[in-house]
Amino acid sequence: MRLNEQGLKDRAAWEEKGYELPAFDRKKVTENTKAAPRWIHFGAGNIFRAFQANAAQRLLNEGVIDTGLTVAEGYDYEIIEKMNRPHDGYSILVTLKADGKLEKTVVGSIVESLALDRENTEDFSRLTEIFSGDSLQMASFTITEKGYSLTDAGGALLPDVAADMEKGPKAAGSYIGKVASLLYIRYLAGEKPLAMVSMDNCSHNGTKLYSAMAAFADAWEEKGLAEAGFAAYVKDSGKVSFPWTMIDKITPRPSKEVEEVLAKDGVEELDPVITRKKTYIAPFVNAEECEYLVIEDCFPGGRPPLERAGLIFTDRKTVDKVEKMKVCTCLNPLHTALAVFGCLLGYDLISGEMKDTALRKLAEGIGYREGLPVVVDPGILNPREFLDTVLNVRIPNPFMPDTPQRIATDTSQKLAIRFGETIKAYQRDPDKDVSELRLIPLVFAGWLRYLMGVDDNGEPFALSPDPMLDTLCPVLSRISLGKTEGAGELLRPILENENLFGVNLYEAGLADRVCAYFAELTAGRGAVRRTLDKYTA
């Protein structure tokens, strides 16, 4: 059983093994797509293959749409060369259900795969053709939040971005510069409408994409490298829109256990590829069953009826509320709490932590007791039901191989949003008292304890990547288990840092509690466990 056009001709062999196959005429859909593409997506990674591509397939299967997806990869061309093309664009979506069942779907909605590479003249010429055409309605993106960045941490333009702004659209070489050059081609073709839809997991993602496009348009126009009017085109939402979206679906790294299941079925050539850029990709994607994609309904050139595939269309204000509900209350804070303490207690799976009574109570307390009273209710999704699903279905799913070590990455960049917004909500509410918060300060103390790089058994462990490690770890290195004299003064500059926590914890009245918790967590070996048990009892 080979995952390509030839191998899938034997449909019976696949169906006997429980695979759901594309139910549409792929040859005809491919012809339609190449003649009149409507949807192009940038970023050929796992979330796209598991979510957007599968949503498109549902519509194709039902005959609701008659064109498929074109995917373009602008960061790691090896994904196209070594994964998409050898498998004729097909991939296998393995949905991991909490009851242990696997759903296996061959996704064939991706009918054209291109490298966003100016040196690949054939592919770039095709991209130019697509962006020039009348049929294109939307360009969507999953290129990670970093993909939209034009500047470094100090605010200076990144070297490749600065070079692109000097060279102009005909020679742009950075990822976002190349996208801007394609948008300029669409402008030259008659100022044709287009929705530029970021579907990356970051707040106000549409604005991040808009800011990048507008910056290039302004620079090129000012330097005479683009026609006067291009910047106005980019900034006219009646011509080019940049909707906000909220996406939520966990797609961990391809699992060895899932690979073994597929191999046992007889699927060949399943070996994952690790590219020169360290992308880890396989012919299959394993993902959780739950998925949410909420989109601001702003499409000047029309759009596919994706609501029929379960996507939710609404206004910008509501998208923002959904984002806040998820990121500030009902999912992300719980993940961060479990990640920090999971690393300290030696867990290697988030799902395993939910079998730990104290850790489960910690997550439930942060969600139900401290978060829900001030949650932003978006109206279109019920916060309590969303939280119920997170705590009872999603996080405990033993078949989701997500790790606390992965989620602990960049924690310093997450605390202000994931917990600081709740603290601010308590401060704003005259009927609430910040002193009611007990578990959020415990997470802050746990994170500081984590930064010591020593687990609850007193053994060193590797900290996950974080841009603040070089600043914070030298402070924590001056504290050791059982010896916390003077820790409060050492920690003061950290606890006062609004950029880290969203508020000055001293001004919020929470710093003393964090320090007290920290002293208990660092009292010696086993102190993390004892402290958790004490405050979650």
The kind and range of the H/E element at 344 are: helix 332-344
In this structure, is the dihedral angle defined by the CA atoms of residues 179, 170, 73 and 159, taken in order, positive or negative? negative
Query: What is the rounded average pLDDT for all residues in the chain?
Result: 95
Q: Do the Cβ atoms of 223 and 155 come closer than 8 Å? A: no
pLDDT confidence of residue 486 = 83
Residue 526 has pLDDT above 80, yes or no: yes
Report whether 429 contacts 377 (CB < 8 A). Answer: no
Q: What is the pLDDT of residues 117-128, one digit of tens each?
A: 999 999 999 999
Q: What is the pLDDT of residue 398?
A: 83
Query: Is it the case that residue 365 has pLDDT exceeding 80?
Result: yes
Mean pLDDT of 217-222: 98
Judged against a pLDDT cut of 80, whether residue 400 lies above it is answered with: no
Rounded Cα distance, 273 and 261, in Å? 18
What integer pLDDT is reported at residue 171 of this predicted model?
96
Region 3-28: what's the mean pLDDT?
96
Average pLDDT of the residues in 458-472: 95
- pTM attached to this predicted model: 0.89
Mean pLDDT of 331-358: 96
CB-count exposure of residue 474 (10 Å: 0-12, 13-18, 19+):
exposed
Summarize pLDDT for 121-160 with one digit per residue, the tens.
999 999 999 999 999 999 999 998 889 999 987 889 999 9
pLDDT above 90 (res 424): yes
Tokens 């801007």 belong to residue: 180
